[in-house]
Amino acid sequence: MTAFPRRAGPPAAEPFTLQDALRHVKEVSDGGEIDATLTSLISVARETCEDRTERTLITTPWRLTLDAFPAAIKLLQPPIIEVQSIVFRDANGVLQTLDPQDYEVDTVSEPGFVVINEGRAWPATARRINAVQVNYTAGYGATAASVPHPLKQWMLLAIGDMFENRNASEERAMVKHAFVDHLLDPYRMMGI
């Protein structure tokens, strides 16, 4: 069974500024409704892109909880930057932090992995749900410049489409753009 991480905080930034979005939709800042709508759409486009590709775009903290230590811990939402800590409840229920020298983090593979070092063993945990907590960061980097261009282009097109059709209803179906969605294909994790 694959355990899925949860965001442990917001990303370091968004992939676009309000000014980028205003320029793309050819609008002028109004300090009100247009700005608020575009600011929201930037986040929606990023989150949708991340969900569809199963990746993290901008440096973001994640938390993975497990009931016990598996042979290898799979870290989803790559690219993985680093593991900050692995915290667990020992057999007596006492909260402990695993020494980073006891494990190795694979930040090259996608998804990433944590494995116990040779000659070591994962510690015994309390028999309870969420006994292990892995805190890590993932993303292409802390700035918009680090996000791959095809992903940024998809987000801009999504922002433009959502902004243009923000008052759409079921009576006015939006046009699907197959090419636009194919911009994400090389970055999809394919349900790994």
φ, ψ for residue 19, nearest 5 deg: -60, -40
Residues 42-53 have a mean pLDDT of 93
Name the pLDDT band for 190 (thresholds 50, 70, 90). low
Mean residue pLDDT across the chain: 90
Q: What is the pLDDT of residue 170?
A: 45
Give the up-direction half-sphere exposure of residue 28: CA atoms within 13 A in the CB hemisphere. Answer: 0
Residue 188 pLDDT more than 90?
no
Name the pLDDT band for 133 (thresholds 50, 70, 90). very high
Residues 79-102 have a mean pLDDT of 97
Task: Look at 26-30, 95-99, 154-158, 167-171 and tell me which has the smallest mean pLDDT.
Answer: 167-171
Q: What is the dihedral of CA 126, 109, 76, 56, to 10 degrees?
A: 140
Q: Which two tokens stand for residue 141?
A: 């980097």
Could you tell me what percent of the chain has a pLDDT over 70? Answer: 89
Per-residue pLDDT tens digits for 167-186: 764 444 444 566 566 667 77
Q: What is the pLDDT of residue 132?
A: 98
- pTM across the whole model: 0.85
Q: What is the pLDDT of residue 178?
A: 60
Residues 120-139 have a mean pLDDT of 97
Could you tell me what percent of the chain has a pLDDT over 90? Answer: 80
| Contact assessment for residue 134 and residue 73, using Cβ atoms and an 8 Å cutoff | yes
Task: Determine the Cα–Cα distance for residues 102 and 89; give it in Å rounded to an integer.
Answer: 16
Q: What is the pLDDT of residue 166?
A: 79
The residue extents of the domains of the chain are 6-57+147-187, 62-138
Name the pLDDT band for 165 (thresholds 50, 70, 90). confident
Which residue(s) pair with 174 in the sheet?
none
CATH class of 6-57+147-187: mainly alpha
Per-residue pLDDT tens digits for 52-83: 999 999 999 999 999 999 999 999 999 999 99
Q: Which of 81, 77, 83 is nearest to 187 (CA)?
A: 77
